[in-house]
Amino acid sequence: MNLNRLAGKKILILGLGREGTASLRFFLDNCPGCEIGLADATPYDLIGPEIKEIVEKHPEIKIFCGSHYLASMDEYDIVVKSPGIPIHIPEIEQAFNQGKITSQTEIFFEQAQGMLVGITGTKGKSTTSSITYSILKAAGRKVFLVGNIGTPMISYLEEDGKDSIFVCELSAHQLYDLKRSPHIAVLLNLYQEHLDYYKDFGEYIRSKANIAIHQTKDDYLIYNSGDEEVSLIAKESAARTIAFNEYDWKFGGNTDLIGDFNLENARIGAIIGRLLGVDDATINQAISNFKPLENRLELVGNFNGIDCYNDSLSTIQESAVAAITSLGERVQTLIAGGFERNQPFEKLADAILKSNIKTLVLFPTTGKRIWEEIRSRARESGQGARLGNLRPYFVDNMEDAVRTVFANTESGRICLLSAASASYNMFKDYADRGNQYKTCLTRLASVINDQRSS
């Protein structure tokens, strides 16, 4: 492992979550001559126990926590920034301009000897990465699922070898300022997202484009020719390009995957499998055995006669529209709304007006804006009668949301949680939102059944 550029350097790990902790362990094991510092906006008392345990064993490590954590950057040669830390804080921008900032992703891409398969897009990257991993695993390859979905990628460098394949789910934050692209890159789609992190949609697109921009003629770019922004990136690529939505492959088997978009994710896995010499029988069997991921159009179960789906990872309107379309006419109740990122909702409003949805359970803050968009689109399109068949309920916690579901959804119909919004104003993250949904469904359905039987 060649870490010459880090030898003798003063390294600051910026951000002490899961990725920062993995980076700390890596540098302690592999860069004994380096001086290491840690920085995080969280007060030290609230830092996780794993970091504290490491620091107790290494008193030479300097720690900068709390409101002045960024002041420490001037003391260090290299800053390893975690993806979640904003890029447009003045101190961070200055460090970028000085060439100080790197990332765990960049270090991993520099060091890995194995093949890198990188998958990104606004939506679908977790499922596509997981299907691809499953196909290669079924074929007996030495494959690892890393990045935004799996274990922090730097943790796998000790197991790296020329026969290794790393399937890397890559967020825009991980791709930002990346200076190397993977051998096989997948670019699924580009929608307006994370506009609270980037200056504008253009900057978000440029960040995503890094998955392909450093590829050569010996690499592959698998892309969505139906997405205008993605197609422009592919047009400029030096790699061999494959438009996955035009690729001749049909799944030959049964699958639990719901929706055309998930079958496209499976098609991408099949393309990658074929590029790496996996036979179609193995590909089809792996897809047949694949179980949909949690919080991604996940059937939670039937409660009081209602089929309840958890699509909590839906943080933009396009994913909610895809969920509504995939589940079809039986969707009667939609739970939507959440954290405000100033994203549009006109596509969601149109999809709701075209659907059989009758009940809208809406969370703050975007819930009110979603309802206003529905009303506006109904007036513009002359669908006043349809508007009269919609009933909005504004709630501010998951328990009230689920109570509303049970009170207003008919047996045999579907309730869909697909928020089209981020979760951070009410929940820790999308997983917490999904887990609260499932917990409330189970508990309140039991209460209702007990009341009926008593």
* Least confident interval from 117-126, 189-198, 203-212, 221-230: 189-198
**What mean pLDDT is reported for the chain?**
94
Give the domain 9-102 fold. Rossmann fold (3.40.50)
Q: Is 274 within 8 Å of 283 (Cβ atoms)?
A: yes
**Residue 11 and residue 157: Cα distance in Å, rounded?**
19
Give the CATH number of domain 298-446; options: 3.10.20.30, 3.30.1330.60, 3.90.190.20, 3.40.50.1370. 3.90.190.20
Same fold, 105-289 and 298-446: no
Is pLDDT above 70 for 302?
yes
**Residue 18 and residue 12: Cα distance in Å, rounded?**
16
**Residue 186 and residue 270: Cα distance in Å, rounded?**
12
- Please report, for residues 349, 352, 375, the alpha-carbon distance to residue 333 in angstroms, rounded to integers and kept in the order given: 14, 10, 17
Is pLDDT above 60 for 169?
yes
Tell me the domain boundaries of the chain. Answer: 9-102, 105-289, 298-446
At 202-221, the pLDDT tens digits run 999 999 999 999 999 999 99
Residue 152, both tokens: 């922090």
Is pLDDT above 70 for 1?
no
Q: Is 426 within 8 Å of 289 (Cβ atoms)?
A: no
- More confident site: 448 or 161: 161
308 forms beta bridges with: 301, 415
Residue 441, both tokens: 């469904």
Residue 234, both tokens: 């592919």
**What is the model's pLDDT at position 346?**
97
N-terminal to C-terminal alpha carbon distance within the chain: 68
**Residue 237 and residue 247: Cα distance in Å, rounded?**
18
**Residue 185 and residue 269: Cα distance in Å, rounded?**
12
Residue 311, both tokens: 């699509």
338 — pLDDT class (breaks 50, 70, 90): very high
Sheet containing strand 331-336, strands side by side? 298-303, 306-310, 414-417, 331-336, 359-362, 391-394
**What is the model's pLDDT at position 454?**
60
- Please report, for residues 244, 280, 400, the alpha-carbon distance to residue 291 in angstroms, rounded to integers and kept in the order given: 22, 19, 30
Determine the average pLDDT of the residues in 85-110: 94
Is pLDDT above 70 for 2?
no
Question: What is the CB neighbour count within 10 angstroms for residue 443?
Answer: 12
Q: Which amino acid is at 269?
A: G
**Strand ranges, E, within 226-286:** 240-243
At 250-271, the pLDDT tens digits run 888 899 999 899 999 999 999 9
Is pLDDT above 80 for 451?
no
At 355-410, the pLDDT tens digits run 999 999 999 999 999 999 999 999 999 988 899 999 999 999 999 999 999 999 99
**Can you give the three-state secondary structure of 276-322, one letter per residue?**
CCCCHHHHHHHHHHCCCCCCCCEEEEEECCEEEEECCCCCCHHHHHH
**Residue 279 and residue 215: Cα distance in Å, rounded?**
26
Within 8 A by CB and 6+ apart from 365, the residues are 337, 338, 339, 340, 425
Query: What letter does residue 15 receive in the DSSP assignment?
Result: -
Domain range 105-289, CATH class? alpha beta
Give which of 316, 298, 312, 307 is closest to 259, Cα–Cα. 298
**What is the model's pLDDT at position 191?**
94
**Residue 240 and residue 230: Cα distance in Å, rounded?**
15
**Strand ranges, E, within 41-141:** 62-65, 78-81, 101-102, 115-120
Going by their DSSP bridges, the two strands 359-362 and 240-243 should be labelled as: unpaired
Determine the average pLDDT of the residues in 403-432: 97
At 317-337, the pLDDT tens digits run 999 999 999 999 999 999 999
Query: What letter does residue 149 receive in the DSSP assignment?
Result: S
**Residue 280 and residue 274: Cα distance in Å, rounded?**
8
